[in-house]
């Protein structure tokens, strides 16, 4: 748990600003690599200084200053990070991991935050460590105590990116159904109705306000969950992923297979079978209980795909 002080919004019980800051109500939940990184930074700055203390980190700027790293230094850090990542990609022969030159110039802090929001919204189960951290960020920023107190900056960006991701998912489903594709699962009929509303997104400029309105509209929101190979037409009342209270958005990183919000498409059925075949291939190389577990998992995935084929409905059948 990472605890810290906040300054800008720090007030006492009478509403007076407290310039010395107060501890945030909601601590950050971090995974081990983040904690280790903080331990390293703690050793780089004098005792009692900010972790990103200007004087300790901003070595290119002459003259002393108070507070944390300034924007110029942060921008330079982002550029340095890109250079470092590209050198690592080249060293390990991973050209696909290279960060390409940006046609819009340097990334800067605003676009960096936007990228962070994009990842939180769209990669809930990408790289495992990042997924966990992004999941915590989403919980902390969006569903946690911050949300009710101050919704600005990153909160708005996460809402906007979430709705943009949903708009893409709904548009794909709309096209898929239009081309004769089928859907299955307890939320299949609801999904067909929601997909018909795809133009609702196309005609909307997604600002923080429209994003909040759309997120609150359960009929409109379908979330992609590529890790679980399903779509989630989120309804709070039937969601199995929230044991600890009602939230605005699903926890797709904690998706529970028997949930009433699940939808599967023909594409998911294909991918389930591909994943099952890959698991069988691995199982053939692993003896004993681990191999058996992999095979059992493969059977379960094939079972989901078969259930999809048996129960799928299409636009025409739904209308009939």
SS3 221: coil
Shorter beta-carbon distance to ligand SF4: residue 241 or 276: 241
- Tokens standing for 44? 């780089």
Shorter beta-carbon distance to ligand SF4: residue 157 or 262: 262
In the complex, least distance from residue 259 CB atom to ligand SF4, rounded to whole angstroms: 3
As a 3-state breakdown, the chain gives helix, strand, coil percent values, each rounded to 5, of 55, 10, 35
Shorter beta-carbon distance to ligand SF4: residue 24 or 233: 233
Q: What's the CA gap between 165 and 222, in Å, rounded?
A: 9
In the complex, least distance from residue 166 CB atom to ligand SF4, rounded to whole angstroms: 12
In the complex, least distance from residue 253 CB atom to ligand SF4, rounded to whole angstroms: 8
What torsion do the CA atoms of 77, 160, 153, 54 make, to the nearest 10 degrees? Answer: -10
CA 1 to chain centre: 20
Shorter beta-carbon distance to ligand SF4: residue 30 or 134: 134
In the complex, least distance from residue 255 CB atom to ligand SF4, rounded to whole angstroms: 3
In the complex, least distance from residue 179 CB atom to ligand SF4, rounded to whole angstroms: 24
Are 232 and 225 in contact by the 8 Å Cβ rule? The answer is: yes
Shorter beta-carbon distance to ligand SF4: residue 158 or 259: 259
Those residues whose C-beta lies under 8 Å from the C-beta of residue 299, and which sit 6 or more positions away, are 276
CA 142 to chain centre: 11
Q: Where are the alpha helices (DSSP H) in 9-64?
A: 32-44, 54-57
* Of residues 209, 224, 208, 221, the one with CA closest to residue 248: 221
In the complex, least distance from residue 27 CB atom to ligand SF4, rounded to whole angstroms: 25
Shorter beta-carbon distance to ligand SF4: residue 163 or 255: 255
**DSSP category for residue 27:** P
Please report, as ranges, the residues that interact with ligand SF4 according to CB under 6 A: 225, 232, 234, 239-241, 250-252, 255-256, 259, 261-262
């Amino acid at each position: 748990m990472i605890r810290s002080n906040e300054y800008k919004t720090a007030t006492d019980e009478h509403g007076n600003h407290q310039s010395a800051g107060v501890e945030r109500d909601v601590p950050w939940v971090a995974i081990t690599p983040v904690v280790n990184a903080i331990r390293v930074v703690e050793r780089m700055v004098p005792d009692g200084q900010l972790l990103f203390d200007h004087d300790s980190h901003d070595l290119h700027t002459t003259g002393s200053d108070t507070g944390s790293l300034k924007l110029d230094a942060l921008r330079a850090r982002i550029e340095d990070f890109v250079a470092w990542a590209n050198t690592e990609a080249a060293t390990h022969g991973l050209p696909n991991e290279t960060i390409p030159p940006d046609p819009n110039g340097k990334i800067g802090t605003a676009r960096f935050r936007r990228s962070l929001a994009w990842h939180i919204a769209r990669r809930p189960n990408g790289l495992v460590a990042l997924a966990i951290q992004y999941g915590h960020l989403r919980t902390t920023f969006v569903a946690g105590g911050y949300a009710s107190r101050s919704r600005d900056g990153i909160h708005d960006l996460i809402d906007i990116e979430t709705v943009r991701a949903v708009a893409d998912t709904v548009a794909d489903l709309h096209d898929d159904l239009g081309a004769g594709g089928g859907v299955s699962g307890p939320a299949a009929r609801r999904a067909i109705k929601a997909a018909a509303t795809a133009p609702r997104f196309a005609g909307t400029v997604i600002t923080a306000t429209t994003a909040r309105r759309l997120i609150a509209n359960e009929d409109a929101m379908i979330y992609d969950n590529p890790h679980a190979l399903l779509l989630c037409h989120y309804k709070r009342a039937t969601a199995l992923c929230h044991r600890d209270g009602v939230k605005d958005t699903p926890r797709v990183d904690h998706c529970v297979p028997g949930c009433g919000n699940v939808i599967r498409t023909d594409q998911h059925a294909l991918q389930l079978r591909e994943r099952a075949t890959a698991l069988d291939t691995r199982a053939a190389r692993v003896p004993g209980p681990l191999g058996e577990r992999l095979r059992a998992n493969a059977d379960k995935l094939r079972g989901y795909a078969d259930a999809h084929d048996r129960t799928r409905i299409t636009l025409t059948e739904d209308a009939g």
